[in-house]
Amino acid sequence: MGHSGNRRKFLATTVQSVGLTALGGLLWSGYTDAVKASPPVLRPPGALKEEDFLKACVKCGLCAEACRNRESNIDQETGKPRKSTLKMAKGGDHRLIGTPYFIARDVPCYMCEDIPCTAACPSGALDLARLSEKKGEPDINEARMGLAVVHKESCIAFWGLQCDACYRACPLLDEAITLEYQKNDRTGKHAFLLPVVHSDVCTGCGLCEKACVTEKAAIFVLPREYATGKAGDHYVKGWDEQDQRRVGNRKIEEIETRDVRSSQAPAEYLNKEIEF
């Protein structure tokens, strides 16, 4: 009788364990699916490409701790750290739990010269070498956390109102964001001063987004893979040596065309009627 009871207890415990494991697997699968469908996420300076970053990050939180405890983040009146840029994702944040990220509209990256968050990373998920390519030593201006995008319909500068809040907030003044002068043809008297973001300089710090005066920021930072397009190797700037290096040793005439028309010589189709 005792052996029979022990066997039933063992079987019940086994079934319960299997059920809990299966339930945990389903919950984790649902969580990872939700994370993959989450909004674009901004990572700290020097972060590897997202897929590689998630593999390398050990979720230690040292980057967020270094961000919070940096000297420039200490409130001079209270002597205590202010709200830090970096957050560690937790349940309900719709980001992979334990990974660092920031929301520019809340607290942007303040572009610390010593880059304490990246220097603190023990796994290489945040890589100082990625910030040292030009000068040979870490330079926060080489960070590419994201790219600022201007929504013209919401930006009041495009309405003709004078606003240069994002331009003035940019730490790379008149480099990452410039103001483009255009005449206001509607009034004939006034001018537009329009913000233009330069993708080769913008670090994605988000100081412009934080400074934007509109209710919902008309300039906002997105991860670069969301903010930029891709022309493809079959389009080359023939006058640009750097762009030629992008496609390697292939010459323009060697690059594959995409349709019948583009493979023809101009004389073969320019004098013909319109084809549909």
Tokens standing for residue 131 = 């910030």
Which residue reads 């909004």 in tokens?
39
Structure tokens at 87: 């957050």
**Distance (Å, rounded) from C-alpha 119 to C-alpha 52?**
18
The reply to whether CATH 3.30.70.20 applies to domain 146-254 is yes
Burial class (CB in 10 A: 0-12, 13-18, 19+), 2: exposed
Summarised one tens digit per residue, pLDDT across range 103-152 is 999 999 999 999 999 999 999 999 999 999 888 899 999 999 999 999 99
Could you tell me which residue, 181 or 17, shows the higher pLDDT?
181
Return the higher-pLDDT residue of 214 and 236.
214
Q: Please compute the mean of the pLDDT values over residues 8-21 and round it to a whole number.
A: 63
d(CA 19, CA 212): 51
Task: Show Cβ contacts of residue 150 under 8 Å, excluding neighbours closer than 6 positions.
Answer: 195, 196, 197, 218, 219
For the question of whether the overall pTM of this predicted structure is more than 0.85, the answer is no
At 154-196, the pLDDT tens digits run 999 999 899 999 999 999 999 999 999 988 777 666 788 999 9
Give CA–CA dist 138/40, Å, rounded. Answer: 26
Q: What average pLDDT does the structure give for the chain?
A: 84
Q: Domain coordinates of the chain in residue numbers? A: 38-143, 146-254
Token pair 């349709």 is at which residue? 259
pLDDT tens for 242-254 read 777 777 766 655 5
pLDDT band at 261 (very low <50, low <70, confident <90, very high): low
Most distant CA atoms of the chain, gap in Å: 100
